[in-house]
Chains A and B, each alone.
Chain A
Amino acid sequence: MSDLILTPNIDGADDFYAELLATHEGLETAESNALNARLVLILSNHIGDRGVLSQALRAARLQEEE
């Protein structure tokens, strides 16, 4: 089973973050929340690996494994 990557893995982190903010630009908070929900599902589908997804869900709750 592969491990969830929690070390830096995005090339051009600042460019990515700016693109993420730009995607939300002009949206009401409710629309932004809905966008984030869609984004989580799209990224989850892309990852596919259930083990990695479970690790990610735990990581997002800031409950560190160990």
Chain B
Amino acid sequence: MNKIFEIPLYPYERSPDQDPPSVARHKVIVVGAGPIGLGAAIDLAQQGIEVVILDENDKVSFGSRAICFAKRPLEILDRLGCGQPMVDKGVVWNMGKVFFDDRKVYDFNLLPEEGHQRPAFINLQQYYFEEFLVNRVRELQAEGAPIEIRGRNKVSAVGTHPDHVALEIDTPEGSYNLEADWVIACDGAGSPLRAMLGKDFVGRVFEDNFLIADVIMEADFPTERWFWFDPPFNRGQSALLHKQPDGVWRIDLQLGWDIDKEREKRPENVIPRLKAMLGDDVEFELEWVSIYTFQCRRMEQFRHGRVIFAGDAAHQVSPFGARGANSGLQDTDNLIWKLKLVMEGKAPDSLLDSYDIERVHGADENILNSTRSTDFITPKSEMSRMLRDAVLDMSEHYEFARPLVNSGRLSVPCTYDRSPLNSADALDGPERTRPGSPCPDAPLGDGFLLPRLGDRFTLLTIDADAPDRIEEDGIEVTRLALSVKDDPTLALKERYLGDATSAVYLIRPDQHVAARRASFDETLFRAAIRRATGKE
């Protein structure tokens, strides 16, 4: 039977755009049908903006690749109408074990906070993730939304102009030209578009190779993340075992720098390594094997006029900490509402510069975290190894050492603390919901808070009065009126009020806080709306 990643999901079809003489102009062209490109296009289409996705391939991700999706991206996917199938299919996990040398040093439970609709993490193969996104594209098409995917359409040249972007596209039937008002480049770490525009991509290269294998087995390992430092079956290196849906297990083995990649990838070399790890009596089948190296780097700027970069095309991190696809989805979550307002003439073009500021900040935070994890997992000097081993030795005996063990700090969304879109904090409220923060979820009777926010500006009032609707210079803001009584668990109070007795929050379409105050004040909130849309 063919694997899902071997079947063309969006096979090449000739488009009328390929027939000259006129060059078709589209509103937005998204380059790359990976998780980020598909997410961006779905967001645009469900808000009525015409979009064409171009991909040089016609299939979902080959092999599992990104497998760990965090709560914030799942909340974004809910807004995009496809969170539920991901959570239904995915493996939810909270527990883990850390091993050092030949022994387990400790167990952990992530103990996710109560009162959130979505779990802290799910594990799901990237090919399923992309398949669910493609299904959502098909659903939107059936509803008449203006979205199209063109498989085997490879961008071969790009020209930037003040009012549009010109693209030359290669297909199995020859090349053709297209124009777009805007281009979103989601064409991955090796981004051809970035190279064509001659933009640099600098950062730190990590001299290490990792063997990554998807193994199908009927094993009674629990649904936990197991991480080994310097195990007997992979001396001096690390190893990871993690469960995916369908009885597929992800295994990562660090191999070091001086290896023969082609040799190491051959099944006759991979299988003995896995047997040494899993034990001789475990029956397994290899589904997919790859060897990867990685870098931590980002573009200096993500926005280049009408070409905007997102996901791995804009920034690349080490895989420890699941900050690749997770942060890419946060990029487009940040970008699309801004682009929509600019396209509709409701916000100045400079609003898009805040995408650059906010997501460069996010990328730097992710690079910092994943670099630290990498430095812990693969110490670069004798002393850093000695300190690392001391932490691991002590983690077996003393609780204090466990927070210092770093096998990946799992992805959490960043707070845009110094964003030009924030208004000064005017509520003596919880730190976690200060301006710039992503809204934390909270239970509301038989539902949750986050599904009631998003796609538009919202005025969230908690035990406070305000108009049901305000319009400020084309920006419409609707009120969501709540009371602490709506949540008997008091999570809403604890997360949004703290010691305050009432609050009014201005919440952006990407569910980040723009402003907050104890009570409504028309002049101040109108100014906050202007500020949040790049007008002050």
A positions within 8 Å CB-CB of B: 5-10, 13-14, 17-18, 20-21, 24-25, 27, 29, 32-33, 36, 59, 62, 64
Contact = CB atoms under 8 A, between A and B. Distances in A.
Interface string B373-384: 001100001111
17 contacts: A6-B398, A6-B400, A7-B400, A8-B400, A10-B403, A14-B369, A14-B406, A17-B376, A17-B404, A17-B406, A18-B375, A21-B375, A21-B387, A24-B383, A33-B383, A62-B393, A62-B394
Given A7-B399, A14-B369, A62-B397, A29 B404 contact: no
B110 to A, nearest CB: 15
Contacts of A10: 400, 403
Contact of B383 (A6, A9, A14, A32): A32
Determine the main DSSP class of B at the interface with A.
Answer: helix
Contacts of A24: 381, 383-384, 387
Interface residues of B, number: 21
Contacts of A64: 397
A8 B398 CA distance: 9
Contacts of B381: 24-25, 29, 32
B409 interface: yes
Contact of B372 (A18, A33, A62): A18
B265 interface: no
Contact of B382 (A5, A25, A29): A29
Contacts of B404: 13, 17
Contacts of A13: 403-404
Interface in B184-241: none
B26 interface: no
B402 interface: yes
Q: What 3 pairs across the A-B complex have the smallest Cβ distances?
A: A32-B383, A13-B403, A6-B398
Interface of B: 369, 372, 375-376, 381-384, 387, 391, 393-394, 397-400, 402-404, 406, 409
B394 A27 contact: no
A29 B383 contact: yes
A14 B393 contact: no
Determine the main DSSP class of A at the interface with B.
Answer: helix
Given A17-B391, A21-B387, A32-B381, 11 more contacts: A7-B399, A8-B403, A13-B403, A13-B404, A17-B406, A21-B375, A24-B387, A32-B382, A59-B397, A62-B397, A64-B397
B380 to A, nearest CB: 9
A8 B399 contact: yes
Contacts of B399: 6-8
Contact of B384 (A6, A7, A21): A21
Contacts of B369: 14
Contacts of A21: 375, 384, 387
A24 B381 CA distance: 9
B391 to A, nearest CB: 8
B229 to A, nearest CB: 15
Given A14-B409, A62-B394, A9 B400 contact: yes
A33 B387 CA distance: 11
Nearest to A16: B404
Nearest to A23: B383
Contacts of B406: 14, 17
Contacts of B409: 14
Most chain A CB within a 10 A radius of its CB, from B383, B394, B409:
B383
Contacts of A14: 369, 372, 406, 409
A27 B387 CA distance: 14
A39 B170 CA distance: 62
A46 B398 CA distance: 22
Nearest to A9: B400
Nearest to B406: A14
Given A18-B372, A21-B375, A64-B397, A8 B384 contact: no
B402 A8 contact: yes
A29 B387 CA distance: 12
Nearest to B382: A29
A17 B383 contact: no
Contacts of B394: 62
A17 to B, nearest CB: 5
A25 B380 CA distance: 10
A21 B398 CA distance: 21
Nearest to B402: A8
Nearest to A13: B403
